[in-house]
């Protein structure tokens, strides 16, 4: 029996990177998946899942649109009869624009996808899960939501908001049997971060990627997916309202020289 055997699960941002890795891992563990992304890449993800023997359906949708969120949650319930877990993973980086040059429109779009998107997933998953008196919600935050210096301003603010959303929602769901937690990735090689890795390789400094964390390397999407799998599974039945860094130890300390002590 897989850790998500027979469970109805939704993953947003499933077209690439962490979402694709999670789609493959969750379905390997028995999940019946609705894979959501705004790009055609989600169809490739689902094809890979099916080739591996998993059960998945692709839905092209905008995770920051309430109409779309209602539709793909209803799709999961109609297809599988229930909703056991949802991972609000879709996000955008927002880039590194100097603060004085940032626009209101730029902030609004980053917050719409990164923070309002998880809010909508929570809002519309809750009625189904509370009726069942069981369910797991996972949101993708970031180490940038925990400490400064890891990203641009709107991205960091949006991810700090996700952490607060998780903490406050855990108490809003008191007594319902529904859990909510966040994963806070460090530097992970995905489509979103690819420019960072490509620039380092062009400069011949790829060996310095991840040098600020004790493991001295960047992470891979499957390492984030593994944490989310645990949080979505019944193994995490007493884990609630938490934000878990998966960052090679980056946030475990103040900045340090890297020398043994």
User: What are the chain's domains?
Assistant: 8-189+221-242 (3.40.50.720)
User: Could you tell me the pTM of the whole model?
Assistant: 0.92
Percent of the chain with pLDDT over 90: 79
Cite the active site residues: 155
The arithmetic mean of pLDDT across residues 147-155, rounded, is 87
For residue 93, what are the contacts with CB-CB under 8 A and spacing of at least 6?
151, 152, 155, 192, 193
pLDDT at site 253 = 84
Structure confidence at residue 258 (pLDDT) = 58
pLDDT score recorded for residue 261: 47
Q: What is the pLDDT of residue 213?
A: 86
| Greater pLDDT, 230 or 196 | 230
Do 178 and 134 meet the contact criterion of CB atoms below 8 Å apart?
Answer: yes
Per the DSSP assignment, residues forming a β-bridge with 60 are: 37
Query: Which percentage of the chain shows pLDDT scores above 70?
Result: 89
> pLDDT of 1-22, one tens digit each?
899 999 999 999 999 999 999 9
């Amino acid at each position: 029996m897989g850790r998500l055997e027979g469970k109805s699960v939704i993953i947003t941002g499933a077209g690439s990177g962490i979402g694709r890795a999670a789609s493959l891992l969750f379905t390997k563990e028995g999940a019946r998946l609705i894979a959501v992304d705004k790009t055609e890449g989600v169809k490739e993800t689902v094809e890979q899942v099916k080739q591996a023997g998993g059960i998945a359906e692709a839905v092209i949708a905008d995770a920051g649109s309430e109409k779309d969120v209602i539709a793909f949650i209803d799709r999961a319930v109609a297809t599988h009869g229930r909703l056991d877990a949802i991972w609000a993973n879709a996000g955008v980086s927002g880039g590194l624009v100097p603060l004085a040059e940032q626009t209101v429109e730029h902030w609004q779009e980053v917050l719409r996808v990164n923070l309002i998107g998880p809010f909508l997933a929570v809002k519309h998953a809750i009625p189904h899960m509370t009726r069942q008196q069981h369910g797991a919600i996972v949101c993708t935050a970031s180490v940038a939501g925990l400490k400064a210096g890891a990203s641009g301003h709107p991205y960091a603010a949006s991810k700090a908001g996700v952490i607060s959303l998780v903490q406050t929602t855990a108490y809003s769901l008191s007594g319902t049997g529904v859990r909510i937690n966040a994963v806070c990735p460090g530097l992970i090689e995905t489509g979103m971060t690819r420019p960072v890795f490509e620039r380092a390789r062009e400069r011949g400094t790829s060996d310095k990627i991840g040098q600020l964390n004790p493991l001295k390397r960047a992470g891979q999407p499957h390492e984030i997916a593994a944490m989310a799998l645990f949080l979505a599974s019944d193994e995490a039945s007493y884990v609630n309202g938490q934000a878990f860094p998966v960052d090679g130890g980056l946030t475990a300390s103040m900045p340090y020289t890297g020398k043994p002590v």
